[in-house]
Amino acid sequence: MTQAQATIGILGGSGLYHMDALEDVEELHLKTPFGDPSDAIILGTLDGARVAFWRDMVADTTCCRQNYPIAPISTR
């Protein structure tokens, strides 16, 4: 098994992984001891650097942040 690596990691991305300058794009479907990630990791090359994007919502938008039970963070 080949291990994919990235120099830069970006959480979220709002579609940044669709930019024209991103080359050699691949989707990595990972398994972890804590459960499956919300979606695939997008790995590509941008200006010579390997970049990994982890979408915080699934690509087909079947789930969204508003559906997760979270409490607001106090700013005090």
pLDDT digits (tens, 9 = 90+) for 4-47: 788 888 887 667 778 889 999 999 888 888 888 778 888 999 99
- Taking the C-alpha atoms of residue 26 and residue 24, their distance in angstroms, rounded to an integer, is 7
> What's the pTM?
0.63
User: Residue 67 — φ and ψ, nearest 5°?
Assistant: -90, -5
Helices and strands in the chain, H and E counts: 0, 4
